[in-house]
């Protein structure tokens, strides 16, 4: 089992790191907003098929959209967490981090009941949702808390129980990789909205190992719940 420890910084001028962080911030509005009406687009690049009951679809051939420059400069920066500021509608945007064993947070989670992400409206369907006492909506973290993600509205969206649970499959892949390989992973989770809807249609999840190209993925998880119709504009929900 290979153990690499911290990223070797090499010679990365401070000005390049500053430019990288500025570019990352500048790219957030493009990433966080879907097109107005019509089909849903991710990052202005690829059309996402309508939800058909499957929890996620592979995007861009499972290759993250990170550029080579982004990965190189993130490696120079080391561990970090970057969250977009809430937009004019109070919606969370892209959350990006460089995660490793060093960022894993095993402490008890804080109380989230006071946080109300955009579009938050709770409903119960005990006969359709066996877990969580039948509650439909979760305060879902973009960057998983166990990976070091903040209990902060910039990192939390109104997320269905199904979406929140199903995302764990790829979140655990990141956890397994940082533990088993000792790598740093550049990780970005972007809520995608349609027009002015306050509830995201889903999240784009991207990951890439910074030590080599041995690990990575690019998937879109639908913010939907089987058997339930969710209105992403109002937050209202009803059995289908």
Of these ranges, 10-19, 24-33, 219-228, the one predicted with the greatest mean pLDDT is: 219-228
**pLDDT for the residue numbered 27:** 33
Confidence of residue 166 (pLDDT cuts 50, 70, 90): very high
Q: Which CATH architecture has domain 14-106+117-239?
A: 3-Layer(aba) Sandwich (3.40)
Token look-up 């990223």 returns 7
Report whether pLDDT(196) > 90: yes
**pLDDT for the residue numbered 132:** 82
| More confident: 18 or 189 | 189
| CA 17 – CA 70 distance, rounded (Å) | 10
| More confident: 160 or 36 | 160
**pLDDT for the residue numbered 140:** 96
Closest Cα partner for 220 from 150, 157, 170?
A: 170
Confidence of residue 1 (pLDDT cuts 50, 70, 90): very low
**pLDDT for the residue numbered 173:** 96
Could you give the strand order of the β-sheet that contains 185-192, starting from the edge strand earlier in sequence? 56-58, 216-222, 202-209, 185-192, 95-99, 80-83
Q: What is the pLDDT of residues 77-120, one digit of tens each?
A: 889 999 999 999 999 999 999 999 999 887 776 678 889 999 99
Q: What is the pLDDT of residues 118-140, one digit of tens each?
A: 999 999 999 999 888 999 999 99
**pLDDT for the residue numbered 39:** 56
Range with lowest mean pLDDT among 34-38, 40-44, 103-107, 194-198: 34-38
Mean pLDDT score, 171-199: 94
């Amino acid at each position: 089992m290979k153990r690499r420890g911290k990223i070797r910084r090499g010679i990365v001028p401070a000005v390049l790191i500053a430019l990288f962080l500025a570019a990352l911030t500048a790219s957030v509005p493009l990433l966080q907003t879907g097109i107005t009406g019509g089909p849903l687009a991710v990052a202005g690049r690829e059309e996402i098929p309508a939800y058909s009951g499957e929890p996620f679809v592979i995007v861009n051939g499972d290759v993250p959209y990170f550029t080579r420059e982004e990965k190189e400069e993130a490696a120079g920066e080391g561990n970090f967490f970057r969250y977009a500021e809430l937009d004019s509608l109070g919606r969370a945007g892209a959350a990006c981090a460089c995660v490793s064993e060093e960022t894993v947070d095993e402490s008890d989670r804080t109380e989230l009941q006071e946080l109300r992400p955009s579009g938050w409206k709770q409903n119960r369907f005990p006969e359709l949702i066996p877990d969580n006492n039948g509650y439909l909506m979760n305060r879902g973290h973009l960057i998983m808390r166990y990976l070091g993600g903040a209990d902060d509205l910039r990192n939390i969206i109104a997320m269905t129980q199904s979406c929140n649970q199903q995302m764990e499959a790829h979140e655990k892949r990141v956890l397994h990789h940082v533990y088993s390989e000792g790598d740093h992973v550049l990780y970005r989770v972007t809520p995608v909205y349609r027009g002015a809807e306050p509830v995201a249609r889903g999240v784009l999840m991207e990951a890439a190992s910074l030590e080599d190209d041995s690990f990575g993925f690019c998937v879109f998880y639908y913010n939907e719940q089987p058997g339930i119709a969710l209105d992403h504009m109002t937050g209202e929900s009803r059995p289908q």
